[in-house]
Chain A
């Protein structure tokens, strides 16, 4: 008897839980838009939710629903939603994830949807990151340079010249300084290169390395020229020749290197600008750290970035209203709120002028000074790039950095094997 009661209770609960709710689109003449955000840090989620709330308070006819997405699985989740015709109206993602969706016709071309204010506020070099073919498929709004997070006390004690955005280190100078900082089981730098391709390619822009070259026939080929070799060779030599870079962090993510950094094992770690949040949270009391610009090459401090983007689903029946919401979200003062929440830089020129981004607290000013040098990451619009990255470049660079292969072999693999992969996508 008791079993039957329990069974009945469970079934009632199930029925209650499995039914009801839902509903979107237009109800009572009111439009409902779904905004899938990937914000994940507390401050960032709060900023996004507050902005949605403010929009809903001032736009009674267009209600925006906040949907929480996840960086961890966004590509697969979006792909399935697009295929099933159930994608959110407004999509938060990153520019290097958009190519497949843009070419696949899942995203709306924003050229005729966005207001002139927003178009002129964001520089062309940022729009380039979300341009595929002739169309623009995302609004780039947050980005971060790769910087050197340094143990300020260590550098001061070693009496090395502290670089600034106006007078950065050159790559040879950086190598020399890391050599001077090393010894007794300590390293001048720890490269967290779990994802070696994007780090290498993005930093190589500073030396003029482009790696991917588009011919007159429109086809892209890989060419590993002298300029492309500057950054990989520096890292390789730091690890294998000078022993000024830790060999154990080559397979690590950025967060994994922080304990060694705090523990005084590494003087510097090249990380994304937003890692400052983790450093503020985790650094031992009294630990003095600072942000330094990444080394400069023939092209100065230029580096590649893949900004976070906001896109509109092609299937959305309310593209105009979705674009209006994006415009609201990316008003200069709102863009600043989003940037501060994510510890990143806004792409908007007006937002970048905000005093909050020019303070010395947490070295915001150093990062903001680098905003003008951030360009589109190489190859993110090249078809076949993901396969080239996973099957050719990642293992080749990992082997090169660990000393298993030399530069000639690296070049051969990146070019010969790489071009075979790209050719399949360009027939």
Chain B
């Protein structure tokens, strides 16, 4: 079926509008980051700053330990992503390959666990971590992030495992490979795009997470980037807009870079998991 030129043009316009809609907050953030306080108070704001300045970045770095907080965020996010993937991959394989009652119950648990809001679990979680002496430590925070991202990571990976033909694993078994060897040498490489996508999901979730980090970390030197960003916000929502925008822009950069680097692999991975052959 051939699409008419008008319809095609309409599709492109809709796509462009959608892209602008998606990009608007980020572009506005970047524009704000380079504006002086006077320009921020202008009645007629412009997209391109009239007098671009780096003062907001300087002020943001002077006032808050952004680099240190970014390193903390990086450690927490990397740790959470790695551990979540290491745990979720074999679990997902079992849930996809073994259609037992336990596997079905685990799938149900994964769905139900998504329904609990942060505030409901934070106090019991706080007490558990306190008993484990993991309050005010990045290790405790990583543990929470792993637990928090694990259900969805599992959900994602199960889909990818389904897409891997079981015949390949059976062939490996015929050649004498045990279950662990099959998982490591046959299934895991085929799951690579899915594992990358899942790790990325866990990384971004942990990188952006605010509330757990706020509640669990006390020492200023251990605070993560989202918590430090709130220090630019005062009572009744009054904000130091320029430095806040500058710091927030810097905070989005790692996610953007990671996405840009592995975008092709991620798309391939998502498509692989999308259709069950």
Q: Tell me how far the C-beta of A42 lies from the nearest C-beta in chain B, rounded to whole angstroms.
A: 6
Closest chain A residue to B243, Cβ basis: A42
A18-B75, A21-B221 given as contacts; is B236 within 8 A of A195 (CB)?
yes
A282 B38 Cβ-Cβ under 8 A: yes
**In the complex the two chains form, what is the Cα distance from A18 to B62 in whole Å?**
26
Interface size class, chain A: 35 or more
In the complex, which of the residues B41, B59, B137, B211 contacts A258, with contact meaning CB atoms closer than 8 Å?
B41
The tally of CB-CB contacts under 8 A between chains A and B is 137
Across the interface, which residues of A come within 8 angstroms of B222, CB to CB? 21
B106 sits at the interface (CB 8 A): no
B41 A282 Cβ-Cβ under 8 A: yes
A317 sits at the interface (CB 8 A): no
Closest chain B residue to A82, Cβ basis: B123
**In the complex the two chains form, what is the Cα distance from A73 to B139 in whole Å?**
23
> What does the 1/0 interface line of B134-175 toward A look like (CB < 8 Å)?
011111001000000000000000000000000000000000
**In the complex the two chains form, what is the Cα distance from A151 to B219 in whole Å?**
44
B214 A73 Cβ-Cβ under 8 A: yes
Interface size class, chain B: 35 or more
B215 sits at the interface (CB 8 A): yes
> What does the 1/0 interface line of A173-200 toward B look like (CB < 8 Å)?
0000000000000000000001100000
Interface positions, chain B 183-230, Cβ under 8 Å from A, are: 210-211, 214-215, 218-223, 227, 230
Across the interface, which residues of B come within 8 angstroms of A94, CB to CB? 235
Across the interface, which residues of B come within 8 angstroms of A18, CB to CB? 75, 79, 137-139, 142
Q: Which of A83-91, A110-118, A330-338, A402-410 makes up part of the contact surface?
A: A83-91
Closest chain B residue to A255, Cβ basis: B238
A21-B221, A262-B42 given as contacts; is B127 within 8 A of A83 (CB)?
yes
Closest chain B residue to A94, Cβ basis: B235
Closest chain B residue to A70, Cβ basis: B230
Closest chain B residue to A34, Cβ basis: B218
Interface positions, chain A 139-176, Cβ under 8 Å from B, are: none
B72 sits at the interface (CB 8 A): yes
Across the interface, which residues of A come within 8 angstroms of B43, CB to CB? 259-260, 262-265
A67-B220, A262-B41, A263-B44 given as contacts; is B234 within 8 A of A255 (CB)?
no
A58 sits at the interface (CB 8 A): no
Q: Which residues from chain A sit less than 8 Å from chain B, CB to CB?
A: 10-11, 13-14, 17-19, 21-22, 34, 38, 40-42, 45, 66-68, 70-73, 76-77, 79-81, 83-86, 88, 94, 194-195, 253-255, 258-260, 262-265, 272, 275, 278, 281-285
- 6 interchain pairs (CB within 8 A)? A45-B63, A72-B233, A88-B218, A259-B43, A262-B41, A282-B38
Q: Which residues from chain B sit less than 8 Å from chain A, CB to CB?
A: 37-38, 40-45, 59, 62-63, 71-72, 75, 78-79, 82, 119, 122-123, 126-127, 130, 135-139, 142, 210-211, 214-215, 218-223, 227, 230-241
